[in-house]
């Protein structure tokens, strides 16, 4: 299964062979390749997978994805808390 995450472009570096960008993924900042989305600019949201931007997202779609991921995280945390501890006997 593959997972791509939405993030907001903070800065872009055009000085190397590949166009790179610093992207904020909910407070976690990572450098990713934006070579394949030449239309991407600072302030845009991108969908990224394995350090590469796949597409530019409109803000509404990005926020919907972020909300869904946050809800999934909340549900998983609740389920984890319901599991009994496997303590040695």
Q: What is the mean pLDDT of residues 44-62?
A: 96
For residue 22, pLDDT beyond 70: yes
Share of the chain above pLDDT 70, in %: 93
Domains of the chain, by residue range, sit at: 5-82
Q: Has residue 24 got a pLDDT over 90?
A: yes
User: Would the pLDDT of 19 be above 80?
Assistant: yes
In terms of Cβ atoms closer than 10 Å to its own Cβ (0-12, 13-18, 19+), residue 88 is exposed
pTM of the predicted model, to two decimals? 0.82
Note the CATH number of domain 5-82. 2.30.30.140
């Amino acid at each position: 299964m593959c997972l791509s995450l939405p993030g907001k472009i903070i800065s872009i570096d055009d000085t190397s062979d590949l166009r790179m960008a610093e992207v904020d993924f909910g407070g976690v900042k990572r450098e990713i390749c934006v070579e394949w989305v030449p239309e991407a600019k600072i302030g845009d949201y991108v969908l990224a997978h394995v350090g590469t931007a796949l597409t530019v997202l409109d803000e509404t779609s990005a926020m919907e994805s972020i909300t869904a991921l946050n809800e999934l995280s909340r549900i998983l945390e609740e389920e984890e808390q319901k599991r009994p501890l496997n303590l040695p006997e």
